[in-house]
Structure 1
């Protein structure tokens, strides 16, 4: 399916439906791993940085990792098309639900005599933190990722495959806006240790930083997209694609 040694063939998504790609599974695993670790390790910690002329500015520690999932999501849609990206989003959705179930069950299990870690376990994985954060993240992730993937796929058709930077940054602006507007109020509004002002501040800070991350990682995105398109031998366009999120077929 290649056009020359290095130039991938431009194909409609329907023409590769059901096909097998060499690296798709690896990209999907990377997406799910980054998603889970971002939520279970970084999402619940509020950090602070001392900015010149501004002073202490709070931000969520998950900002260090979570935007990478959007970069991978951009790569998935750009290289493999919306339908396969949709399948990966649903895989991440199921993995996060399973993570929440594990947190609930493990915290609820009887504690062996002499083990002193239950209080810390409950603080980190109990109902006051991980489940609420994870459920908020599941909803925000599902909405934001589908917005991100849809915008990128449509922009690719409109731009005829040109200006990848505009597609990745533009889709992230919309996707991360939806994600942040849903996640932070659901996860932290009225939660212990969080004021309304802090929630709003972190919300807009995270959105700006996530978009900034996308901009900074644009050269990396170009490199990965170029590598995958060359190795897979195709450049998928979502012409005639059914953009419903409620499907897993490709």
Structure 2
């Protein structure tokens, strides 16, 4: 799959995947679902993919390049949100019957946007930074780096998003359970797909620079 690509070419592709997944995640995060009697935001469906790409970027390309992709994703998501709100404000023709549904799906309160943006920036940057720090400590233990960095990143992501987005709307105990379950769900997900993450990292490391 990667044989005909250079690291530079793949970096550009990973930027696209990362950014697309981030924009998708913020569209679906407005809905929650029941998971064995626990309530989780639907963003957990795709956020693990974002963190796997984050791991690959930090492990192969280093923290600075990973940080640039994270900030690019933040900027493009901001552009998407601005575009959503502009289109919601534009008057629809009388024959367009889905204005309310469109607004519900693509619109968002300032509180949820703030929660999403803050959680994403902190969680993603911490995830990437932990990958680099742990690599300096022990370069051989890729599994430990991937899982520990995700646990830290996802933990902070869950704490920030859920407290900013939902504090005061549900009991504190429910918030804490939601944070714990979300962080564990994403971490377990990455443990399950770790073999794939390892294959991708190994393949990318073997690519030519240009």
| Aligned pairs for 1:1-250 within 5 A | 21-41=8-28, 43-50=29-36, 56-128=37-109, 131-159=110-138, 161-190=139-168, 196-232=172-208
- Report the count of equivalent residues: 204
User: By percentage of residues, which structure has more helix?
Assistant: 2
Q: What TM-score does the superposition give when structure 2 sets the normalisation length? A: 0.89
User: By percentage of residues, which structure has more strand?
Assistant: 1
2-structure distance, mates of 1:22, 1:104: 34
Mapped contact 1:96–1:134 kept (Cα < 8 A): no
Change (3 A) 1:195 1:96: farther
Q: CA deviation at 1:143?
A: 0.8
Structure 2: which 5+ runs fail to align? 1-6
- The Cα offsets for residues 75-94 of structure 1, whole Å up to 9 and x where unpaired, read as 00001111110110111110
- The Cα offsets for residues 35-59 of structure 1, whole Å up to 9 and x where unpaired, read as 1111112x11111134xxxxx2222
Q: CA deviation at 1:195?
A: 5.2
Mapped contact 2:155–2:179 kept (Cα < 8 A): no
- The Cα offsets for residues 137-168 of structure 1, whole Å up to 9 and x where unpaired, read as 11111111111111110110111x21100001
Structure possessing the higher relative contact order (Cα contacts under 8 Å, 6 or more residues apart): 1
Q: CA deviation at 1:189?
A: 2.8
1-structure distance, mates of 2:111, 2:80: 12
RMSD: 1.9
Structure 1: which 5+ runs fail to align? 1-19, 51-55, 235-250
